[in-house]
Amino acid sequence: MMTEESLDAFRSVSRKPGLQIWTINVTEILGYGNFFEGDCYIVLYVGSRQSIDIHYWIGNTSSQDEQGAAAIYVTQLDEYLGGSPLQHREVQGYESPRFRGYFKNGLIYKKGGVASGFHHVDTNVYNILRLLHVKGRKHVTATEVEVSWNSFNNGDIFLLDIGKAIVQWNGPQSNRREKLKAVLLAQDIRDRERGGRAQIGVVEGGDEKDSPELMKIMTAVLGQRNGPVREATPDDRSDQAQNNNVRLYHVFEHSGNLVVQEVATEPLTQDLLRSSDCYIADQRGSSVMVWKGKQASKEERREALNRALGYIKAKNYPSSTSVKVMSEGGESAMFKHLFKSWRDKGQTQGLGTTYNVGKIAKVDQTKFDVMQLHARPELAAQHRMVDDASGDVTVWRIENLELAEVNRRTYGQFYGGDCYLVLYTYQRSGQQQYILYMWQGRHATTDEITACAYQAVNVDNKYNGAPVQVRVVMGKEPRHFLAIFKGKLIIFEGGTGRASAVNPDKGARLFQVRGNDELSTKATEVQARASSLNTNDVFLLKTDHVSYLWYGKGCSGDERVVGRAMSDVLSKQDKQVVMEGQEPAEFWVALGGKGPYASDKRMQREEPLHSPRLFECSNQTGRFRMTEVDDFTQDDLDEEDVMLLDTWEEIFLWVGNLANQYETKEAWNSAQEYLRTHPARRDPDTPIIFVKEGHEPPTFTGWFNAWDPHKWSVSETQSPVLMNLSPSSRFNLTFTDGGIKSPSAGYSGKFLDPELLINKSPSELPQGVDPSQREVGAVLWIWCTAQKHGSHSVQDVNNCVNAASMDVLVN
């Protein structure tokens, strides 16, 4: 029940987009990102589209009473906000990606609790001594540890905070991104807790002798170090992308006892969820999600969270198990992905409704203006079309494990016994773009499939890594692949297209034709039997003497038009048009006799729309991991990693320029494993698209809000002035609206236009500028980039300088 005390506390709740934080002990909002280990917190996030998430955070040393109070407050707050928020239980050290994402500069775990005297951040206190152990690459956490050399290890980063100075010690095995994140955290502490007055210094643990003054400070505080620093310690938890073992339970109380009744195992279907009940979806303990039906009783909805906690105890799951509670209509993307199909009320896709391909169903491709695809990449993503398919096409077949160019007159004819490479070239913003399709026939040999992948690498190298690579399994051709053959795509079940080969005479052959126009049409050979027919489609039956063009009762006028055009490609014989139900006897004889076939139009069903999900694939912690990135943006694409984007119809593998070969190789395997083990029993032949940093097609960028095509357009290899940055050099630059004053650049007392210095060879530099001062050139470039994007603050420039791992002070 909602108490007067609770109502008073919740009256301060704002429904404006943003973050609000409370402790259980006090109601005032605290300094964001600081969490005492002895306390529990409630974190409310209101999204830009009025989506609401309630998190309650449990400190490792908080009491059972506080944890119970937190759960009660969350339930009451959920009720106060109408029961629609998504509830999350967060345990210190095991927070969800969404929770960590709220605190861009990191989470800081502090010893003690609010009762120890903390009420607000005082920016004028310098009597501080603490050591923070910093972990994480994308979302950082910093835990207060014993102020001693014994707390250090070679794999992580540590911040020694002594009030007026913060010394960052980088473990020799820490990477560039971790160092950058730690710097940003140190700057956040300086600006938020010290009013910007503290000094920050950085020590590289592998080269401590290069920072003698900072090492004096560390030695004075920590004492002389006895022996080497401990070796790196592996993370104590695994970021598993998914667990394919999912069970759905109906949870309710009976005579005061908690009853857990299993309903189904994977693959789950949406119709299992009844609005009058509450359910638990359990991913073998890795995640527990509670679903509350709209018509469930108030008591059931109110007790949903407590029942989930009781379920965890009954199952003997770890106390850190992730728990999420959601209401009908407010399901998370992760929850929907547990189901074979999911349809939201009134759901449409792109500019119209799409139907999926089942035994009966057909694809109803809504017509759209292809000129919108470049202007609106979100349309390109939804329609899986990078352009209007008017680019250039080159096709090779794998013959004797080598590439053999295919005769243009036979473009669009693919045989199940072959493998092909299809290179598509098109223009975007005046630049040549490439897509390389690897088509694998169902009956091709293992050697041919391997050779196809090998030759794809050779073609990719020929174009300097620019092509987007797409694996296409026979029968799973993506929409753009269909479009580039202009209504002439034919898939033969077997045989080969090699000129020297003689394919056996198969007698009658039956082809199923699907599509509304030349951008969406293909003909697929099916078994020449009556059972292959489908009332929603057009079929061509080809015999030695005559060809029959069969129109099912459910096909549209557009489909009949493209069927007629395709039949002319398949056969030069005269066509006898046959309407369903009016077939001559010879038609059935050619099919081996009349028989039942798919003829129920009611089985058409809408293709489910699933929200895209992004995963980071990395082995930088010593073992390969896939970690989901919640509420992702372009900034989450890490240049040092491989990222997996799941849009349900296809899997994108995005490869950063700094990703290592092991990650790239494992990502291919992981994408296939991801599909194989998906709890919704995904099609293992779903297209996998290989995208390289800087060469992203609109079908990829359209899934990201406000994509910046110039984010990676300038690389160090293109700029002679930016190469070989030396972290040991130190410069002092004065940065103004008119330029950069740099005595180090050989222009003491003068201001230079940065455009005179960036992307210039030594011979092109202004007279008197020393080309060896490459760090100055880098800072100038950073300054130009900041101004180009509308940012003029010294803080922003310093952040970029730290990203380049340079010891440069910008005033």
Per CATH, the homologous superfamily of domain 613-702 is Severin (3.40.20.10)
Interval 65-83 mean pLDDT: 84
Contact at 8 Å (CB) between 83 and 2? no
Q: What does the pLDDT look like over 557-603, one tens digit per residue?
A: 888 998 999 988 888 888 899 999 999 999 999 999 998 887 655 33
Pairing label, strands 322-327, 86-91:
antiparallel
| More confident: 333 or 372 | 333
In angstroms, the CA 372 to CA 377 distance is: 8
Per CATH, the homologous superfamily of domain 130-222 is Severin (3.40.20.10)
Interval 155-181 mean pLDDT: 90
| Per-residue model confidence (pLDDT) at position 735 | 39
Under DSSP, is residue 447 helix (H, G, I), strand (E, B) or coil? helix
Q: Residue 479 — φ and ψ, nearest 5°?
A: -60, -40
Question: What is the band of 774 on the pLDDT scale with cuts at 50, 70, 90?
Answer: very low
| Per-residue model confidence (pLDDT) at position 348 | 40
Instruction: List the one residue out of 441, 470, 443 whose CA is nearest residue 456.
Output: 470
DSSP string, 744-774: GGT-TT-EE-GGGTTT--GGGSPTT--TT-H
| Per-residue model confidence (pLDDT) at position 463 | 92
Contact at 8 Å (CB) between 797 and 786? yes
| Per-residue model confidence (pLDDT) at position 364 | 38
In angstroms, the CA 753 to CA 741 distance is: 10
Both ends of the chain: CA-CA distance in Å? 57
Question: Which one of 222-236, 423-437, 601-615, 695-709 scores highest in mean pLDDT?
Answer: 423-437
Q: Does residue 83 carry a pLDDT above 50?
A: yes
| Per-residue model confidence (pLDDT) at position 585 | 93
How would CATH label the architecture of 247-338? 3-Layer(aba) Sandwich (3.40)
**Domain assignments of the chain as residue spans, ordered by start:** 4-116, 130-222, 247-338, 383-591, 613-702
DSSP string, 166-207: EEEEE-TT--HHHHHHHHHHHHHHHHHHSTT--EEEEEEGGG
How would CATH label the architecture of 4-116? 3-Layer(aba) Sandwich (3.40)
| Per-residue model confidence (pLDDT) at position 600 | 56
Q: What does the pLDDT look like over 280-330, one tens digit per residue?
A: 999 887 789 999 988 888 888 888 888 888 888 888 888 888 889 988 888
| More confident: 54 or 253 | 54
Question: What is the band of 34 on the pLDDT scale with cuts at 50, 70, 90?
Answer: confident
| More confident: 357 or 112 | 112
| Per-residue model confidence (pLDDT) at position 48 | 65
| Per-residue model confidence (pLDDT) at position 208 | 92
The topology (CATH level 3) of 383-591 is Severin (3.40.20)
Q: What does the pLDDT look like over 700-743, one tens digit per residue?
A: 887 886 677 777 764 433 322 222 223 333 333 343 444 444 44
Q: DSSP character for 606?
A: B
Interval 375-388 mean pLDDT: 71
In angstroms, the CA 358 to CA 17 distance is: 42
Q: Which residue is listed with tokens 């236009």?
A: 753
Interval 358-362 mean pLDDT: 36
Q: Mind spelling out the 3-state secondary structure of 134-166?
A: EECCCCCEEEEECCCHHHCECCCEEEEECCCEE
* The residue type at 213: E
Interval 77-101 mean pLDDT: 86
In this chain, the answer to whether the domains covering 130-222 and 383-591 adopt an identical fold is yes
Q: Does residue 413 carry a pLDDT above 90?
A: yes
| More confident: 654 or 758 | 654
Give strand pairing partners of 652.
645, 689
| Per-residue model confidence (pLDDT) at position 698 | 79
Interval 155-173 mean pLDDT: 92
Least trusted range by pLDDT, from 209-218, 255-264, 463-472: 255-264
Cα→Cα distances 704→331, 503, 634, Å:
21, 47, 6
Report, in angstroms and rounded to the nearest whole number, the Rg of the chain calculated over CA atoms: 31
pLDDT above 90: percentage of residues in the chain: 23
| Per-residue model confidence (pLDDT) at position 800 | 42
Neighbours of 329 (CB within 10 A): 11
| Per-residue model confidence (pLDDT) at position 405 | 94
| Per-residue model confidence (pLDDT) at position 252 | 76
| Per-residue model confidence (pLDDT) at position 736 | 41
Instruction: List the one residue out of 637, 665, 670, 554 whose CA is nearest residue 603.
Output: 554
Q: Does residue 30 carry a pLDDT above 90?
A: no
| Per-residue model confidence (pLDDT) at position 114 | 56
Question: Over the chain, what is the mean pLDDT?
Answer: 77
Q: Does residue 398 carry a pLDDT above 80?
A: yes
Q: What does the pLDDT look like over 614-646, one tens digit per residue?
A: 888 766 555 556 777 877 878 888 888 889 999
Specify burial of residue 431 (Cβ count, 10 A radius: 0-12, 13-18, 19+). exposed
pLDDT above 70: percentage of residues in the chain: 74
Q: Does residue 227 carry a pLDDT above 50?
A: yes
DSSP string, 379-424: HHHHHT-SS-S-SEEEEEEEETTEEEEPPGGGTTEEETT-EEEEEE
pTM of the model: 0.54
Least trusted range by pLDDT, from 230-239, 529-538, 757-766: 757-766
Contact at 8 Å (CB) between 54 and 44? yes
